[in-house]
A and B are shown apart, each in its own frame.
Chain A
Amino acid sequence: MSTIYDRGAPGRRAVALPPLTKTEQEILGAIPAGLRRREGPRLPEVSQPDLVRHYTALSRKNYGVDTGFYPLGSCTMKHNPKLHEDLARHPGFADLHPLLPVEECQGALALLWEMGECLKGIAGMPGITLQPAAGAHGELTGMLLLKRWLEDRGELGVRTKILLPDSAHGTNPASAAMAGFSVVSLPSDQRGMVDVEALKRALGPDVAGIMLTVPNTLGIFEEDILTVTELVHDAGGLCYFDGANLNAYLGRARPGDMGADVFHINLHKTFSTPHGGGGPGAGPVTVSASLLPYLPVPDIVREGARFKLVWDRPKSIGRVHPYYGNVLVIVRALAYILTLGDEGLREASAGAVLAANYLKAKLKGAYRLPYDRLAKHEFVLSGEGVGEGVRTFDIAKRLMDYGFHPPTIYFPLIVREALMIEPTETEPKEVLDAFAEAMLRIAAEAREHPELLREAPHATPVRRLDEARAVREPRLRLDLGCVG
């Protein structure tokens, strides 16, 4: 795969810039020699057509939701509506500096305030911060809120543990650790849910709280959720809800009604904003009344028709973002919420859960289904035993030959050879049928021609890259020794 450095020639350029008034030497002469750069950065030198063709070629080696079905579990790869892209590019948002005086940016503040109100309503919780830039950032914010709450009650250093179901996303323990908590793993029971008896044994005066994903990463709704949150509250802890799976119950249930004290929302999952090849996202956090005093500053407050920034929150954890959060992501997500309204949001979760259960029904005969319960927006199969010497990894690679992006694999960790499938509501039935058909054919191939799987994919630009070599002989940047 060639890089942009392989194109072009010295002296080429892709942009015509204004001239200088003085000469370069005159200007550089004013900068003391010790500060002046001795050797300039080695950057590509390409013409505009070189540039455009290179990145167009790269884009064709990528697979996005706009390319095809992307049933990546836990990621909610739904359609990214195009109207929202245009709205986010409007100069009234895109070209607005965040440190303008509040009277100069009333429209943007109004939009943020409106989003805050919508998300508080959706979560059924009274407080919000829009600052977190991603889900994990929201988790960290939530853990810091818990920490401040403990500090305020004189329990910091006493309540040091966060309980985590063994099915949790890796970000959960990592976020808890960044806030200085230690992590205690809770086993799941045979139903794939939090083991309530194990929870009771784990609870005690040293527990700060629990981090729950609802529905959990098996795609199963915690039916004992009210018992779980009550037990934690009775033991003096708080309940963190990871909102990665909000698409499962949008418009039908609210974390605030289940006992959540902190809840983060991935706008880039549930609320349709594009994932960008890994980011940016946004992870607003809603809180219960007990955590209101600790929210990050500034708070965006409405007074009549005006919006202002409020800094006077003496117990606040401070800023987690240098400004107000990922505003352009919020613009897109608000447009989505406003288009759908309450009824449309409710229909989204219905469509997502319907599609997941439909695929589960079609596939469970051909693949092991370790937890056969009503699924929410996703479900987990196992590739174990599907064919001689065949692993889930091979199934994933073979799916590429059929033109699909594979599901999430090897997660959650509690299922061996896991295949985590999340179809989302925006895929038509014929796409779900085609995917199911491919999965069934692959299961048959695994029995009859396992080499087809073990050698897959067959038609991608590269096949089965050597990941061990990438670590043993690290090449993490281009060797420019021979260039220019």
Chain B
Amino acid sequence: MIPKDLRYTKDHEWVRLEGEEARVGITHHAQQQLGDIVFVELPPLGKKTQRGERLATVESVKAVGEVFAPLSGEVVAVNDALAGAPDLVNKDPYGQGWLCTLKVSAPREADALLDAAGYEAFVEGSG
């Protein structure tokens, strides 16, 4: 449930690095904790964000999950399919349930992200 080719944060975001761009979503663990996702609020295209800033909101019926920018950059794509089908985040968190893509402005920040093993250890450690 933790793909090897992605990087992770302790806030349960995943990042797929592809050249200058980084696709962002929330992990299987995060969607499971939230339950049935009913609404996703995505950032506007062109928004410039700093690492750690609030980037998106993922809501279930009884909980609100804040998604923080794993890297600094500019929002260059958002997953419009989530407006009509927010449950894609539940069904396919690493695929069709992606949230947005950032054009990374400080690539070195990626060094601080966890790899799959590191994230797995973190999730198990935090119970």
Taking Cβ atoms with an 8 Å cutoff, the residues of A that contact B are 410, 467-468, 470-472
The smallest beta-carbon distance between A418 and chain B, in angstroms, is 13
A393 and chain B: residue at smallest CB distance: B62
* With A468-B38, A472-B38, A472-B86 already in contact, 12 other A-B pairs whose C-beta atoms are closer than 8 Å: A410-B62, A467-B36, A467-B61, A468-B36, A468-B60, A468-B61, A468-B87, A470-B61, A471-B38, A471-B39, A471-B61, A472-B87
The smallest beta-carbon distance between A382 and chain B, in angstroms, is 14
The smallest beta-carbon distance between B105 and chain A, in angstroms, is 28
Interface 0/1 of B61-76, CB less than 8 Å to A? 1100000000000000
Q: Which chain A residues lie closer than 8 Å to B38 at the CB level?
A: 468, 471-472
Q: List, sorted by A's number, 16 A–B pairs whose CB atoms are closer than 8 Å.
A: A410-B62, A467-B36, A467-B61, A467-B62, A468-B36, A468-B38, A468-B60, A468-B61, A468-B87, A470-B61, A471-B38, A471-B39, A471-B61, A472-B38, A472-B86, A472-B87
B59 and chain A: residue at smallest CB distance: A471
Q: Which chain A residues lie closer than 8 Å to B87 at the CB level?
A: 468, 472
Cα–Cα, bound, A468→B38 (Å): 6
Tally A-B pairs: CB < 8 A.
Answer: 16
Cα–Cα, bound, A377→B39 (Å): 38
Q: Which chain B residues lie closer than 8 Å to A470 at the CB level?
A: 61
Cα–Cα, bound, A467→B59 (Å): 13
The smallest beta-carbon distance between B78 and chain A, in angstroms, is 19
Please give the number of chain B residues whose Cβ is less than 8 angstroms from any Cβ of chain A in the complex: 8
The smallest beta-carbon distance between B82 and chain A, in angstroms, is 12
A472 and chain B: residue at smallest CB distance: B38
Q: Which of B60, B61, B62 has the most CB of A within 10 A?
A: B61
Cα–Cα, bound, A467→B36 (Å): 9
Which residues B39-62 have CB closer than 8 A to chain A?
A: 39, 60-62
Q: Which chain B residues lie closer than 8 Å to A467 at the CB level?
A: 36, 61-62
Q: Which chain A residues lie closer than 8 Å to B39 at the CB level?
A: 471
Cα–Cα, bound, A467→B62 (Å): 9
The smallest beta-carbon distance between A473 and chain B, in angstroms, is 10
Cα–Cα, bound, A468→B37 (Å): 8
The smallest beta-carbon distance between A13 and chain B, in angstroms, is 40
Q: Which chain A residues lie closer than 8 Å to B36 at the CB level?
A: 467-468
The smallest beta-carbon distance between A269 and chain B, in angstroms, is 24
The smallest beta-carbon distance between A453 and chain B, in angstroms, is 18
Cα–Cα, bound, A316→B60 (Å): 42
Cα–Cα, bound, A320→B86 (Å): 40
Q: Which chain B residues lie closer than 8 Å to A410 at the CB level?
A: 62
Cα–Cα, bound, A471→B39 (Å): 8
The smallest beta-carbon distance between B107 and chain A, in angstroms, is 34
Q: Which chain A residues lie closer than 8 Å to B61 at the CB level?
A: 467-468, 470-471
Interface 0/1 of B10-52, CB less than 8 Å to A? 0000000000000000000000000010110000000000000
Which 5 pairs of residues, A with B, have the shortest CB-CB distance? A468-B36, A471-B38, A467-B61, A468-B38, A472-B38
Q: Which chain B residues lie closer than 8 Å to A472 at the CB level?
A: 38, 86-87
The smallest beta-carbon distance between B73 and chain A, in angstroms, is 28
Cα–Cα, bound, A468→B60 (Å): 8
Q: Which chain A residues lie closer than 8 Å to B86 at the CB level?
A: 472
The smallest beta-carbon distance between B85 and chain A, in angstroms, is 9
Q: Which chain B residues lie closer than 8 Å to A468 at the CB level?
A: 36, 38, 60-61, 87
B35 and chain A: residue at smallest CB distance: A468
Cα–Cα, bound, A212→B23 (Å): 43
Cα–Cα, bound, A305→B42 (Å): 64
B38 and chain A: residue at smallest CB distance: A471
Cα–Cα, bound, A292→B76 (Å): 55
Cα–Cα, bound, A410→B60 (Å): 15
The smallest beta-carbon distance between A329 and chain B, in angstroms, is 30
B127 and chain A: residue at smallest CB distance: A416
Cα–Cα, bound, A472→B36 (Å): 10
Cα–Cα, bound, A448→B104 (Å): 54
A473 and chain B: residue at smallest CB distance: B38
A467 and chain B: residue at smallest CB distance: B61
Q: Which chain B residues lie closer than 8 Å to A471 at the CB level?
A: 38-39, 61
The smallest beta-carbon distance between A254 and chain B, in angstroms, is 37
The smallest beta-carbon distance between B39 and chain A, in angstroms, is 7
Cα–Cα, bound, A467→B35 (Å): 11
The smallest beta-carbon distance between A411 and chain B, in angstroms, is 11
Q: Which chain A residues lie closer than 8 Å to B60 at the CB level?
A: 468
B63 and chain A: residue at smallest CB distance: A410
Which residues B89-106 have CB closer than 8 A to chain A?
A: none
The smallest beta-carbon distance between B104 and chain A, in angstroms, is 31
Cα–Cα, bound, A395→B86 (Å): 29
Cα–Cα, bound, A471→B38 (Å): 6
The smallest beta-carbon distance between B91 and chain A, in angstroms, is 13
The smallest beta-carbon distance between A174 and chain B, in angstroms, is 13
B37 and chain A: residue at smallest CB distance: A468
Q: Which of B38, B60, B62 has the most CB of A within 10 A?
A: B38
Cα–Cα, bound, A472→B60 (Å): 10
The smallest beta-carbon distance between A29 and chain B, in angstroms, is 49
Cα–Cα, bound, A468→B86 (Å): 11
Cα–Cα, bound, A467→B38 (Å): 9
A468 and chain B: residue at smallest CB distance: B36
Cα–Cα, bound, A463→B39 (Å): 24
The smallest beta-carbon distance between B60 and chain A, in angstroms, is 8
Cα–Cα, bound, A470→B36 (Å): 12
Cα–Cα, bound, A468→B63 (Å): 12
The smallest beta-carbon distance between A169 and chain B, in angstroms, is 16
